[in-house]
Structure 1
């Protein structure tokens, strides 16, 4: 008997596949906080991958029968750049092996561009994203209330961040109070168990809402609320501290805002050293070290890096890789494309909504992570390239 799945179901399966494929590593991060690496963790891991495989098989024939030319060009260029750097600098090969960058870049990273170029129904994808977000934020809330996150705070923070931003978007721009409630809960959970980079992303989103929503009463209300926050900062911080203590949560962010020990908000966690070394490397070779070639240089220059050295700033990373001239051109081009997108941005279109969410998420690339392996970074450019093709 032949099983027939109509196109609408295939589109639904593909939307769920896109969301779960992006979330798969973060799902394992959340589970490892609760279950460690034991049998339960392994069972959930294989269940996740099996579900993703089934969704992929359902939607494969419909979505991947044609690969867009720009996707092939992107993969080819990145592949050739990687190969060229490995030929010129053999130490890059060891970095790629040590960090598993073939998987990190070509599967986890660039797949964002591939998958979002294949999306046709952004309304459906948006709704699937929103519903999965309810589950993710609920799960994350349980983790914060029942488990000490410890050293996993960074993975936890970024695991739930994109869903928090989407729920806030749906709540503020689309006036969905249910989504707004989840967005607010997610924001509190992220503050309790997150990083300074994630708070920066959320603040950027709120700024975009103030600039583009045209809901002037809310803008005025938020402005007054923000002003009140700064006036009552100490009291609000004390309230959050008391809340965390009552819940038994050890919050790195609250410690940072309180200025406790090495968790002070001004503590750069080694980023000053990384920036200084990056600038010295640029001075030593203004022509650049090639795609991924800067990692071996940073590993040699910073003693506490092993094979995981990257600039922790997307602009420095691009200039280190492509040199001062070409790197600056790439940066200017990116800024131009983002400004152009914001000029024509329409919050009612779901593809633009997702692009805004991913753009805000990528603000953390100025202080953390690498653009080369960030799914959301490439997804943003996939959506923008799709918009250009439609035009």
Structure 2
């Protein structure tokens, strides 16, 4: 039994700090982790108690890895948190139209989204890669468990129909971290469990019926294989072969998809993504929940901004047809902080991201940087809003972390 557990986890012995980091990483990257524990509460007749699972995991995790957090949470990270919290809090003072948005979203943002910047500061891939691999395996396992519950009718979904579970965008995005980390881990240490888990994860990703997560996945795969992956020999020939392989797959894409559509239908998953690709609607804005109208309205608001410093926190909602977020990070920031303030903010983010990339490239960890870039930045090009997306702040914390990698230096003495 112990050997089986060790094989799945990849862990033998764990320190107190490592156990704490596992709990924090599970909460961050596998938000559905509470679903594994909720059946016990339901069987005990206290289904409402499931709400305490995540806060309890966070509390225990913080206590157990307090030593690591003391090293990771620098004055810079605290100042960043307080500055962002302050700027957003005073938004109604300068922009009264944002008062309602701030009142509804501020507390949840500063307590449940912004604090994830500290997780970004905590992450050290050279130290944590086995832990993150375990978290990724758990992420795939939790998704298998959750999808099985949905397919068996144990849990109802509002988006489903009689024949399909419908689009599951949130599950699609939650699959990205496990898949990307497992692909990186496989390049480092090939194990059957990681190969199997990543294959299952990729199949589930395409069966979720959401296009955004698939685009992020494809950006990572192409960037990883063609740009970031280091080949020991014949680098040009191998990259040319990979590009040729992509061309061949694209040439037979219709035939490949027609093979998978019956499988998805038989299992009860959505075929929306396959239908979009077959009908050339994969990146059609008119088919993307009226995003073309969202983008057009917000762009005009940015262009007509009289001050150049925007309309305030959450102000992009004032210009969209449904009063929802604009589904694009750049437009969101430019609308909220103006074409002057927003441009400066975007330049700052990209600048520190590039500096972090240069630092990690020396350690041959630029692929990890690219994974977090895809998860935290690329994903916000067409889905979600940074106001409700913790992984954006994980990415910000990760790229702002300029501490010397003591662990890396130690193993290279």
What is the TM-score of this pair, normalised by structure 1? Answer: 0.81
Counterpart check, 1:102 vs 2:102 = no
Aligned match of 1:5 = none
Gaps of 5+ in 1: 1-7
Counterpart residue number, 2:121: 117
CA RMSD of the aligned region, Å? Answer: 3.3
Q: Confirm whether residue 357 of structure 1 aligns to residue 371 of structure 2.
A: yes
Is 1:180 matched with 2:195?
yes
* Residues 206-247 of structure 1: per-residue CA shift (max 9 Å, x gap): 122221212236544432321111110110110111221232
C-alpha contact (below 8 Å) 1:110/1:378 kept by paired residues: yes
TM-score by length of 2: 0.77
What residue in structure 2 maps to residue 141 of structure 1? 144
CA displacement at 1:289 relative to structure 2? 3.0
The aligned runs of 1:50-129 (5 Å cut-off) are 50-60=56-66, 63-64=69-70, 67-98=73-104, 100-104=105-109, 106-119=110-123, 122-129=125-132
1:229–1:331 distance in 2 versus 1, CA, 3 Å: same
Between the two structures, name the one with larger relative contact order (CA 8 Å, sep ≥ 6).
1
Q: 1:17 & 1:347 partners in 2: Cα distance?
A: 30
Preserved CA contact (<8 Å) 1:191 1:253: yes
Deviation at 1:46, TM superposition (A): 3.0
- Where 2:361 maps in the other structure, the secondary structure is coil
Q: Distance in 2 between matches of 1:31 and 1:223?
A: 44
For residue 315 of structure 2, the aligned residue among 282, 286, 294 is 294
In structure 1, how many angstroms separate the alpha carbons of the residues matched to 2:176 and 2:312? 28
DSSP-derived class of the 1:387 partner:
coil
In structure 1, how many angstroms separate the alpha carbons of the residues matched to 2:64 and 2:361?
32
Any idea what the Cα deviations from partners look like across 1:235-278, whole Å, max 9, x if unmatched? 01101112212323233322322339xx8652121211110110
Equivalences for residues 293-332 of structure 1 within 5 A: 293-298=314-319, 301-302=320-321, 304-305=322-323, 309-332=324-347
User: Retained in 1: the 8 A contact 2:21–2:61?
Assistant: no
Give 1:251's match in structure 2, choosing from 249, 267, 271. Answer: 271
Aligned to 2:7: none
Q: Does 1:22 align with 2:28?
A: yes
1:66 to 1:196, Cα distance in 2 relative to 1, 3 A: closer
Conservation of the 8 A alpha-carbon contact between 2:119 and 2:394: yes
1:286-329 Cα distance to aligned partner (Å, 9 max, x none): 5233541414523xx52x23xxx222111111211221122223
Q: Is the alpha carbon distance of 1:175 and 1:146 closer, same or farther for their aligned partners in structure 2, counting shifts above 3 Å?
A: same
**1:213 and 2:229 equivalent?**
yes
Distance in 1 separating the partners of 2:137 and 2:316: 38
